[in-house]
Amino acid sequence: MDIQLTEEQELLRSSIQRFLREQYDFDERRKIVAAAEGNNTQAVRMMLAAGWPVDVRAGGGTTALHFAAWHGNAEMIREILKHHPPLEIADTNYGSTPLGWALHGSKNSWERHKGDYAAALELLLQAGAKAPELTEQLQASEPALAVLSRHEKGKPGVV
């Protein structure tokens, strides 16, 4: 899942990110979060390829990864994970990480029937996101709970 960059590519990427941070105001930088909120995988992919910072936070402290997880969009999560986003960053409204958003979205997202929450959770867990303890109070879909159960037993799935 890791993209190995040459020294020159890494220098170019960091220069582009610095430029975007310096030249674009908050509204411009957070467009990547808006694209993820709209479930627009292609836009997120293109912005990341152009050097958009992966850790941009929009209102409520959300990142593109929060919304990719909310939608259960495994393809978008794969793209975002290639750029090493923070996995344990909690939003400021609910205090929840992207993995928490995936769990909640699996049961409550307005388009949950379109998402692949099992794959989304597997990707986040494989990337190092911390799984919550399985309790009766944990609200998530059955497939999402099955992923957590497998992970807790040390048997991660294949994505």
Digit-coded pLDDT (tens) for 27-36 = 666 899 999 9
Average pLDDT over every residue of 39-47: 94
Alpha-carbon gap, residue 154 to 64, rounded angstroms: 28
Torsion, Cα 39 54 89 134, to 10 degrees, reads 50
Quick one: average pLDDT of 147-158? Answer: 81
DSSP state of 88: S
Alpha-helical (H) ranges within 109-159 are 117-127, 142-152
Q: What is the DSSP letter of 94?
A: T
CA atoms within 13 A on the CB side of 155: 5
Distances in Å between the Cα of 78 and the Cα atoms of 41, 68, 96, 122, 129 are 10, 10, 20, 11, 14
Looking at every residue in the chain, the average pLDDT score rounds to 88
CATH number for region 7-152 = 1.25.40.20
pLDDT band per the 50, 70, 90 thresholds, residue 14: confident
Confidence label for 38 from pLDDT (cuts 50, 70 and 90): very high
- Of 138, 110, 137, whose CA–CA distance to 121 is shortest? 138
What pLDDT sits at residue 1?
A: 42
Domain boundaries, the chain: 7-152
Q: Which residue matches tokens 């949950």?
A: 112
Q: Each residue of 86-117: b (16+ CB within 10 Å) or e?
A: ebebbbeeeebbbbbbbbbbbeebeebeebbb
pLDDT band at 154 (very low <50, low <70, confident <90, very high): confident
In this structure, are residues 55 and 88 in contact, taking their beta carbons and an 8 Å threshold? no
